Amino acid sequence: VANPFILPPDVFGRVRQGAFNYHDGPLPRYAGTHATSWALLAQETEHAITWHRIDDGVDTGDVVVQRQVLIAPTDTALTLNLKCYEAAVEGFRELLTGLKSGKLIAYPQALVNRSYFPRRRRPDAAGCLRWDRSAQDLSAMTRALDFGPYHPNPLCLPKALVGDGVVTVRRLEVLLQRSGFPAGCLLEIHSSHWRVATGTQDVEVCFGSSDGQALDARDLARYSNLNEGDRLPILSEEEAQSITATHELLAPREDFWRRRLEQFKILQLPFLSSSV
């Protein structure tokens, strides 16, 4: 049972053996929401899930079960979430066994080590890739925002600045080679991807449309009047901070407007000739 709401103390205070919550992070670190994505953005190599008692705080209750989850270099938000779910099921069995035997051990969190990610928090520059960063940073951003086709993206899409607009990044692969060209230089254009220079190694970038379909990267370059050797825009630190702040300001209203826009229907204009 998934519940995004904070229960009042009088609800879980009525149960005999306590109320417990599953958290997809290694409490007290990564408390709050979307812990797996924030762990990927931090390029962690180890993670954990936690079952803890529910108290009157947010993810602050005593820990009863914690299980380690290893993070692979290719993990996305989707794959890491699946690993966490598997660990959570095993941890739940341990929790039930402890309750049944009366030997469940709970220990308080070291809240001095707590890190907290509120629901409104969003990734740097609303997910816009900054080519002067390392290839590993760009890969982490792309993978942390890849929730797969089964779950709505709750944070933002990874995207690249192209001309005066943005285009969604579907996949980014870090290459072994480093061309030595300035960051953001468009090195190669193929139908499936672009090869772009970064602050470290080169990367291959694949793009997608707003409906999730793959874009022809060669057509995208032609439409954007880009050629090999051109440089893609790079946000300044001030621009990135401004975008991040604006995105976090708008984030609490995003669900409302998404639901409202989903109700819109495409207007079919009468008497419109198919040749127009």
Q: How do residues 127-163 score in pLDDT, each as one tens digit?
A: 999 999 999 999 999 999 999 988 888 999 999 999 8
> How far apart are the C-alpha atoms of 131 and 202, rounded to whole Å?
10
Architecture label for domain 9-117? 3-Layer(aba) Sandwich (3.40)
- Predicted pLDDT of residue 276: 45
Can you name the CATH fold of 124-234? Methionyl-tRNA Fmet Formyltransferase; Chain A, domain 2 (3.10.25)
Q: What is the pLDDT of residue 14?
A: 73
- How far apart (Å, rounded) are the C-alpha atoms in residues 255 and 257? 6
Domain boundaries, the chain: 9-117, 124-234
pTM of the predicted structure, to 2 decimals: 0.89
The low-confidence residues of the chain, meaning pLDDT below 70, are 1-4, 12-13, 271-276
